Amino acid sequence: MSSTHLSEIDDSTNIGLIRTVLRSAGFRGSHAVADPEEKRAALTFLKSEFRNGISSENELLSALKRRDDLSPPALRRMQGDIADGVVIA
């Protein structure tokens, strides 16, 4: 995801916040497993939520987790581990 996709968000701190949320959810980073369409959809959703006043990392991550059609890869991995009986500390 290039920074041009985040150019609508003015402050570099806010861009960093959205990147952090995407990374925490598994949409960014070296271990990201989401396909490009999932990444784009997650970014679009987070930008919209941010513009609508949700501006904390936890609230944005929670909003992303509530999306049935956009399950974060990190959450899918955790759910898979739980279903397999793996205890997450």
Domain ranges of the chain: 3-83
C-alpha 18/C-alpha 24 separation (Å) is 10
pLDDT band at 65 (very low <50, low <70, confident <90, very high): confident
Distances (CA, A) of 81 to 13, 59, 74, 78: 33, 24, 11, 5
Sign of CA dihedral 74, 75, 76, 80: positive
Res. 86: pLDDT tops 50:
no
pLDDT digits (tens, 9 = 90+) for 40-52: 899 999 999 998 9
pLDDT digits (tens, 9 = 90+) for 7-58: 556 677 788 999 999 998 888 887 777 788 888 899 999 999 998 999 899 9
DSSP 87: P
> What is the per-residue pLDDT for 10?
61
> What is the per-residue pLDDT for 30?
76
C-alpha 74/C-alpha 37 separation (Å) is 16
